[in-house]
Structure 1
């Protein structure tokens, strides 16, 4: 059985590449929950929906990529935390408006809570307003 660090790594890489729930599901409980205090994700409650949201995001930010800053396992709490910066430019079709050609470098944190070796819940900490302004989606 893979360690929670290995599982979190596989999930993180698939999710951030925009591969959607189909590629992430094996690392998660089918009903895994999601939470974020960020406007674009305010109504997103399942990890399935978040993974598919990321897949859509990569569709209109096709150069989307991340720089990993930290990846830490707290075995006592069954939690893995990833700290990263997402980089990307809105050049693809879709999203909240026509492509703006604007770029963002936006920091975020994933706290992945495990149960029985798979992700049960994930919290995303992200200043969405900052990213949306950088991308030209908000004033």
Structure 2
């Protein structure tokens, strides 16, 4: 039996490398929810939709990668927190506009809440406005 830390690590890596729901589903409840107070993800309400959003993002930001800065489990509250910086350039086709060639280094936090051995909800904390401006998608 994997610990919540091991499960969260496997999910995080799979999600952040564009594994989509196909790669991430084994770590999550089928109806796992998602929340983020960022306009770019305003319509995303399920973890399945978020994992597919990340997969799509990496399609037009093919150099996308992350630097993990902190990873911690809170056994009492049954959650795991990951703090990372996403690095990527809009060089591929797709996304909100033609490739801008611009780059972002954007910090974010994932809080993965568990029910048993699987993720039941994830909250993403992210300043999407800054990333969008750095990528040249807004003024």
Aligned partners of 1:10 and 1:22: how far apart in 2? 13
- Determine the structure 1 residue equivalent to 2:74: 74
- Determine the structure 2 residue equivalent to 1:34: 34
Aligned partners of 1:36 and 1:18: how far apart in 2? 19
Q: Deviations over 1:93-115 (max 9, x none)?
A: 00000000000000000000000
Which segments of 5 or more consecutive residues in structure 1 lack a partner in the other structure? none
Residue 86 of structure 1 and its aligned partner are, at CA, apart by 0.1
CA-based RMSD of the aligned residues comes to 0.3
The alignment covers a number of residue pairs equal to: 139
Residue 79 of structure 1 and its aligned partner are, at CA, apart by 0.3
Q: Does 1:43 align with 2:77?
A: no
Aligned partners of 1:64 and 1:14: how far apart in 2? 13
Q: Deviations over 1:49-101 (max 9, x none)?
A: 00000000000000000000000000010000000000000000000000000
TM-score of the two chains, using structure 1 as the length reference: 0.99
TM-score of the two chains, using structure 2 as the length reference: 0.99
Which segments of 5 or more consecutive residues in structure 2 lack a partner in the other structure? none
Q: Does 1:14 align with 2:11?
A: no
Question: Helix, strand or coil: the match of 1:31?
Answer: strand
- Determine the structure 1 residue equivalent to 2:128: 128
Aligned partners of 1:12 and 1:34: how far apart in 2? 14
Question: Helix, strand or coil: the match of 1:62?
Answer: coil
